[in-house]
Structure 1
Amino acid sequence: MEVAPVSVSIFEAIEKSIPEYSTFRENVVDGIRQALVKFVDRIAAPDSEPDPHDDIHRKLGAWEFKSGRSLDSLQAAYRIGARVAWRHVCGFAERRELSLRLMSVLGEAMIAHVDELVSLSVEGYAAAQASAAGTLERKRRKLMELLVGDPATSWEAVLDAAKAASWPMPDRLVAVALEPSAAPADDLPADVLVNFEDATPYLLVPNPAAVPRWLRRALPGWRAAVGLPVAPKDARRSLACARRVLALSQEKVLPEKPVLDCADHLVELTVLADEFLARQLAERALAPLAPLTDLQRTKLAETLLVWLSARGGAPEVAARLKVHPQTVRYRVNQLDELFGDRMHDAEERFTLELALRAHYLLLRD
């Protein structure tokens, strides 16, 4: 059986079923020729080991991936090639009057050989796929670093990185801060940028919609804080807010929920944006309470905050505090003596309420 004409015959049969291979005739014919040579060598020396460096069929698998195709066409080509090659083997056997036993051996050898070639191509395809995924992952990681990093980075450089990472730049995105976890994270949408390797892992979610809800499904077992929706140029601000909310939850200032949303905690974020200033405000504005005992200070501070926020009379304040209205009146009289006109000045009332909220948020210390 002559290898060269059989190679061409096999290619012509493949070409009829898979026309796109016509463009790469030389590569395909070379692969067929080498497959036939390997088969003949296998028959001549069945105990010989295959050459590990002879990787033309791995390259064919990689070529399929890089051409944007699945392995279906290549596997179909192998099946067509096996059928045509077997017809030539049968013709050769007939001319040589080979026995049925030898034909059986040849048939088994051909099936094993085709299986081996398919396995090599699958390996090549998988390797190319993994390499491309690794390259894309590195490019996306670089993009994330640019988006949340130094704001001095030119926006043109960010756009170039997004193009290289095959990531369409969205109009809006949110950052999601994650608490490190060993829980699975396999169900995220393909367009979500992920960084699980960072000491403080995070995601960047394009065109966000109902993120907290799907995040619970996609990352069971993780604790997360969803940042504020922003333009991509402000991604680092969204991430900073998300990380701050996650930290406040870890410090027991905010609830320990699986998923927190920054939009629900803007007051806390604002009041504690600078804890030094928040502490100074609380100490100065609430100085009249300082000389009191701890119990007196606790009761009067609690009453003052409810009185300021309720804007109602003693019965409403009493209902919130679950005390008698007369107790409220007594405490308010004490507060009037301590704070004087500040209790009835609009700007001072705002300052007092803000100071009290800062005071309670800082109590974790």
Structure 2
Amino acid sequence: MTRLAWSEVPRSQMDRFADVALAESSDLAHEILRAIRQEFPELRLVEGESGEPKALVGIRRAIEGFVHHLASGAADPRVPSEVFQEFGRGEGLNGRSLDSLQAVYRLGVRLAWRRFAEIGQQVDIAAPAMYELAESGFKYLDGLVEQSVRGYAEAAARQEGERLRLQRRLIDRLLSGPHADPAQALGERAARIGWELPATVAVGLLIRPAREAVAPALGRGILLDMESEQPRMVIPDPDAAGRVDHVRHATAGWSGAIGPTVPLASAVASLRWAETAVALTEEGLLPHGEVQHCTDRMEELLLLPSRDLIDAAAARCLTPLNDVAPAQARRLAETLLAWIETSGGAPEVAGRLGVHPQTARYRLRQIRELWGDALDDPDRRFELLLVLRSQRLRDALPAGGTHPGSR
């Protein structure tokens, strides 16, 4: 700022002001610190290498720096940055807010200004110049706060980085395998990040929508590891009221899967199901753009990963369709599956397929001719159900052989 009135103060008066203020800087610093300790008794003071409280050293340096720069005619007094950054770091590391630190600074500046005003009167500095001095003091306060904010942010980032590191280690330990006594194996690690061990968890696995995607805002209660190629999350008490909705909103725009709810000791089992679902999503067998709940995709998770085994079974139990024309083979397979699923007759099958009951009845007769008494065996029907459902999920119901078959 431009200080017109202050710049017109005679050099001799500036020097007398500076001499008196600097001579009293130590006493003024002690007075300010006493007032701060009285006003803020919870403030913890740390001693420096000299044995003096660092706060006292900082106050004295702030007073001296301010006075030196005023006497030199500098427009913007320079803040002793390192000292006040350290104060900000201390507030952050001790869990206090910046508001409390700013209140301390305001008290200090108010007391310093009161004494400077008295010195100004002693050396006959005109009121307009002292008003400008007050403005400089408030600007100086802004600089102190700015430096402390930097230190505070640095401490907060460091603490958050350490918390995330400990959180990843807890997740690693939790998912390293079944734990006979999770409270003993995980309790200390969980306590270090303030995470209360839940009775049950569900483990989620995410697919990044973009390489630099911002982490989902899941909140502190849900463990999240964004360092993994596929981010992992551990959801405590997943069946608690509102938990499902919270996770769904927080992960909007992400793809992935959440495993079933399991006891804490069996978290790795939930992870395995989530891994299976994510693998199917990446193959295009489950939809992208949402985080699937494995319990909502039981059919796909049970049948699709077993498709090699099921295809081998299909080669045996669907042999009656080998000599049927492709289009007819598919219609018969769809009809057979509808018949097994409904456990009904032609009307129920027709309703399931959206065809005329007579058409369904005709196809059922063909199916009986092809499979014969095998359809009366519950085990064979169950095998056919698994095979046909698996193929329907993959849109791979049999196309039959190359020979003409029934209509």
Deviation at 1:250, TM superposition (A): 4.7
Match of 2:6 in 1: none
CA contact (8 A) 1:173 1:205 kept: yes
Q: Which deviates further from its counterpart, 41-50 or 192-201?
A: 41-50
Residues 1:133 and 1:223: Cα distance change in structure 2 (over 3 Å): same
Secondary structure of residue in 1 paired with 2:208: coil
How far apart are the structure 2 equivalents of 1:364 and 1:194? Answer: 38
Deviation at 1:248, TM superposition (A): 2.9
Match of 2:123 in 1: 96
How far apart are the structure 1 equivalents of 2:258 and 2:396? Answer: 23
Q: Which deviates further from its counterpart, 163-172 or 245-254?
A: 245-254
Match of 1:324 in 2: 356
- Matching residue within 223, 237, 241 for 1:207: 237
Match of 1:163 in 2: 191
CA contact (8 A) 1:175 1:205 kept: yes
Task: Report matched runs for 1:171-186 at 5 Å.
Answer: 171-182=199-210, 184-185=214-215
Deviation at 1:340, TM superposition (A): 2.1
Q: Which deviates further from its counterpart, 240-249 or 54-63?
A: 240-249
Residues 1:311 and 1:364: Cα distance change in structure 2 (over 3 Å): closer
How far apart are the structure 2 equivalents of 1:147 and 1:42? Answer: 58
How far apart are the structure 1 equivalents of 2:188 and 2:215? Answer: 28
Match of 1:195 in 2: 225
How far apart are the structure 1 equivalents of 2:146 and 2:287? Answer: 53
Match of 2:30 in 1: 8
Match of 1:70 in 2: 97
Secondary structure of residue in 1 paired with 2:262: coil
Structure 1, residues 302-360: CA drift from partner, whole Å, max 9, x if none? 11111111111112112222223333333222222222221012222212212222232
Q: Which deviates further from its counterpart, 180-189 or 318-327?
A: 180-189
Stretches of structure 1 lacking an aligned partner (at least 5 in a row): none
* Letter of the structure 2 residue corresponding to residue 99 of structure 1: A
CA contact (8 A) 2:256 2:278 kept: yes
Q: Which deviates further from its counterpart, 17-26 or 134-143?
A: 17-26
Q: Which deviates further from its counterpart, 310-319 or 92-101?
A: 92-101
- Matching residue within 60, 72, 79 for 2:106: 79
Match of 1:109 in 2: 136
**Are positions 1:296 and 2:328 aligned together?**
yes
Task: Report matched runs for 1:1-365 at 5 Å.
Answer: 1=21, 2-21=24-43, 26-47=53-74, 55-149=82-176, 156=184, 158-182=186-210, 184-185=214-215, 187-209=217-239, 210-255=242-287, 258-363=290-395
How far apart are the structure 2 equivalents of 1:50 and 1:104? Answer: 16
Residues 1:24 and 1:202: Cα distance change in structure 2 (over 3 Å): closer
How far apart are the structure 1 equivalents of 2:117 and 2:76? Answer: 26
Stretches of structure 2 lacking an aligned partner (at least 5 in a row): 1-20, 48-52, 398-407
CA contact (8 A) 1:178 1:225 kept: yes
* Letter of the structure 1 residue corresponding to residue 136 of structure 2: A
Residues 1:142 and 1:3: Cα distance change in structure 2 (over 3 Å): same
How far apart are the structure 1 equivalents of 2:188 and 2:282? Answer: 37
Normalising by structure 1, we get a TM-score of: 0.88
CA contact (8 A) 2:205 2:232 kept: yes
Deviation at 1:362, TM superposition (A): 4.2
Secondary structure of residue in 2 paired with 1:228: coil
Aligned residue pairs, count: 365
How far apart are the structure 2 equivalents of 1:144 and 1:125? Answer: 28
Match of 2:14 in 1: none
Structure 1, residues 26-63: CA drift from partner, whole Å, max 9, x if none? 23322212211222222233449988985111111111
Deviation at 1:75, TM superposition (A): 0.9
CA contact (8 A) 1:82 1:110 kept: yes
Normalising by structure 2, we get a TM-score of: 0.80
Which has the larger share of helix? 1
How far apart are the structure 2 equivalents of 1:50 and 1:83? Answer: 17
Secondary structure of residue in 1 paired with 2:254: coil
CA contact (8 A) 1:146 1:153 kept: no
CA contact (8 A) 2:206 2:291 kept: no
CA contact (8 A) 1:185 1:218 kept: no
How far apart are the structure 1 equivalents of 2:201 and 2:224? Answer: 13
How far apart are the structure 2 equivalents of 1:83 and 1:51? Answer: 19
CA contact (8 A) 2:238 2:244 kept: no
